[in-house]
Amino acid sequence: MSISTQLKALCGAALASSALLLTACGNDSAETTQAANEPTELTVYTALEADLLDTYGKAFNEAHPDIKINWVRDSTGTITAKLLAEKENPRADVVWGLAGTSLLKMKNEGMLQSYSPVQVEKLDEKFRDNSSTPSWVGMDAWVAAICFNTVEAEKHGLTKPSSWQDLTKPEYKGHVIMPNPNSSGTGFLDVSSWLQTFGEEDGWKFMDGLHQNISRYTHSGSKPCKLAAAGETAVGISFAYRGAKLINKGAPLELVIPTEGIGWEIEATAILNTTKKMDAAKKLVDWSITKTANELYNQGYAVVAYPGVAKPVEHFPAEVGEKMIKNDFEWAAKNRDEILSEWQKRYDSKSEPKG
């Protein structure tokens, strides 16, 4: 083969190699561009009411179309248990909408990422973790109340209760429904507040008496009030905002704020410190405390974290603020497992099946 022919062959091979290299680089570039255009997916655990998820998710995506939320929703107790069980192999990136006492327990377990969201100082101080850099930030608060169906009460000759202790009277036997604290955040705030209000010994004594009149324990905090509104029970221990909304829809209910005081709980947001999508997680938490987000929270709760946002709710009891107990959230979080274990041992026989 002549030198000229050899040179031509070498040049051809070099050109072919270059073409292959350019093609490979081009393919890598296309794949990178495609990946860059795909939204970051966040797994978000929540105990929010199911009908709120679509509203919150759409509003967030209007601000951040580059982030997709994959919701995992269940009741407070179930989501809390799931998060704790997954501690060594976490699946969630963010928790958006879970009881503050649950997040306090997770903080104590070393599961949460400390983070100060943008403009967190605008929130009411009660809705912020008191650490220098918060591990969680609040969204809204809900308070306990008795939903009393006046039509069913008249049918069964029941007097309107004015206190928690009234519900232990024999006349209410079989006419009271309340949430199971092992699955419901509302149920846990009830039990926790009774133990704080009456003292532990008298608190359990009160619940022993109440249990005699309970027809069943539900796995949802709003369900007892919904059942009362539907005439399936005369008394539903639930939360005040749900009752007010049902009254506004025409339900024959009256809301009772017991004289001894009422428990309350904060719903909050936090980042799992194991997430591999920290930037996206921080964007979600930043948005979760905005005025826009709080205006949405106000559609489901009368008390929200952003001052000046909450609008008056018709039929929401005026005395709620003065009847909210001085709630020791740290105590409730620290003793949560022991309280729930004792409650289950004493009263779980009347719980409805988990379905």
Q: Crossing angle for the helix pair 336-347 and 200-213, nearest 10 degrees?
A: 40
Give the DSSP H/E element, type plus range, for residue 210.
helix 200-213
Distance between start and end Cα atoms, the chain:
83
- How many other CB atoms are there within 10 angstroms of residue 149's CB atom? 26
Q: Crossing angle for the helix pair 100-108 and 76-85, nearest 10 degrees?
A: 10
Tokens 């350019």 — which residue?
22
Whether the CB-CB separation of 176 and 233 falls below 8 Å is answered with: yes
Amino acid 7: pLDDT: 35
Per-residue pLDDT tens over the stretch 255-301: 999 999 999 999 999 999 999 999 999 999 999 999 999 999 998 88
Which residues neighbour 341 within 8 Å (Cβ) at sequence distance 6 or greater? none
pTM here is 0.82
3-state SS, residue 235: strand
- Diameter of the chain by CA atoms? 115
d(CA 75, CA 218): 11
Q: Cα–chain-centroid distance for residue 305? A: 14
> Which amino acid, one-letter code, is at 89?
N
Per-residue pLDDT tens over the stretch 201-249: 999 999 999 999 999 999 999 999 999 999 999 999 999 999 999 999 9
